[in-house]
Amino acid sequence: MRSSMVRTLALSVAAVGFLAALPSLAVATANEPELEIDLELGQRLHRQCALCHGQFSQGILGGKYPRLAGQHDYYLLKSLVDYRDGNREHAAMVVVGGMRGLSDSDLASLAAYIAAIDLDEVHPLIVPTPEGADVDNGSSLYRSDCRTCHGREAEGNPRRESPRLSGQYDGYLFRQIEKFKAGQRVHANDPEDETFAAYSDQQILDIVGFLTTLDDKD
């Protein structure tokens, strides 16, 4: 699956209210096969996801299972395809989620459904800041090294196909950063990036601490 298909899906669910009113929506480009987005199908498929990620894809406090709700559809779709095709490894995602037998359209429908979940409405979260984090230093480091790809408020960037980081649990963020440092994951738009390798443990703690403050509600 090429990135153009993922970007096209992002445009298709920009107006969630409109999409929700339709039984399905066909998505296609000149070079990609047609994908049909069916939110009712996405909701049914999500029942398997909910076994680990929660009824509203809110994840589990501490980050054993990450928050998915409100994540960008293009990133969710890419991740789902990568898990299904073996490009990312997680036994529960493949076995419990039954992903091996799902088509691209199935996964696109699931991604669209999860992206449309508004946790502020259905399951408000309070994401704690890890103890010992210097949030001000984390803000400085984030804005220096991370903002260009992940956005000013860690909201993600469709043009770079980067995920939303705000509102994510610290435990999950720590695990993923360790995978990047170990070379088990790479940034899709910059596979040679070694930013994390230069950070101390305290600097990583500070960045993660800062990220946990970005989804706070007054």
C-alpha 110/C-alpha 185 separation (Å) is: 23
User: Residue 127 falls within a domain, yes or no?
Assistant: no
Confidence label for 144 from pLDDT (cuts 50, 70 and 90): very high
Shared-domain flag, residues 24 and 102: yes
173: domain range? 135-213
Shared-domain flag, residues 109 and 171: no
User: Residue 61 falls within a domain, yes or no?
Assistant: yes
User: Across the chain, what does the average pLDDT equal?
Assistant: 84
Binding positions for heme c:
49, 52-53, 93, 146, 149-150
User: Residue 218 falls within a domain, yes or no?
Assistant: no
Confidence label for 13 from pLDDT (cuts 50, 70 and 90): very low
Shared-domain flag, residues 116 and 139: no
Shared-domain flag, residues 35 and 66: yes
Predicted confidence (pLDDT) at residue 148 exceeds the cutoff of 90: yes
Shared-domain flag, residues 109 and 199: no
Residue 69: the pLDDT is 98
pLDDT tens digits for range 150-184: 999 999 999 999 999 999 999 999 999 999 888 88
3-state per-residue secondary structure call for 61-120: CCCCCCCCCCCCHHHHHHHHHHHHCCCCCCHHHHHCCCHHHCCHHHHHHHHHHHHCCCHH
pTM, two decimals, is: 0.81
- Between these two residues, 15 and 108, which has the higher pLDDT value? 108
Residue 91: the pLDDT is 79
Shared-domain flag, residues 66 and 33: yes
Within 13 A of 93's CA, how many CA atoms are on the CB side? 17
User: Residue 129 falls within a domain, yes or no?
Assistant: no
- Between these two residues, 172 and 192, which has the higher pLDDT value? 172
Predicted confidence (pLDDT) at residue 205 exceeds the cutoff of 80: yes
Shared-domain flag, residues 98 and 140: no
Say which range, 129-133, 138-142, 177-181, has the weakest mean pLDDT.
177-181
Residue 188: the pLDDT is 73
Secondary structure of residue 198 in the 3-state scheme:
helix
Q: What is the CATH number of the domain that holds 142?
A: 1.10.760.10
Residue 11: the pLDDT is 38
- Between these two residues, 100 and 192, which has the higher pLDDT value? 100
Shared-domain flag, residues 24 and 116: yes
Instruction: Return the closest-CA partner of residue 3 out of 102, 82, 66, 114.
Output: 82
Percentage of the chain lying above the pLDDT 70 cut: 81
Shared-domain flag, residues 160 and 195: yes
Residue 33: the pLDDT is 64
Confidence label for 14 from pLDDT (cuts 50, 70 and 90): very low
Predicted confidence (pLDDT) at residue 214 exceeds the cutoff of 80: yes
Number of independent structural domains in the chain:
2
User: Residue 128 falls within a domain, yes or no?
Assistant: no
Binding positions:
49, 52-53, 93, 146, 149-150
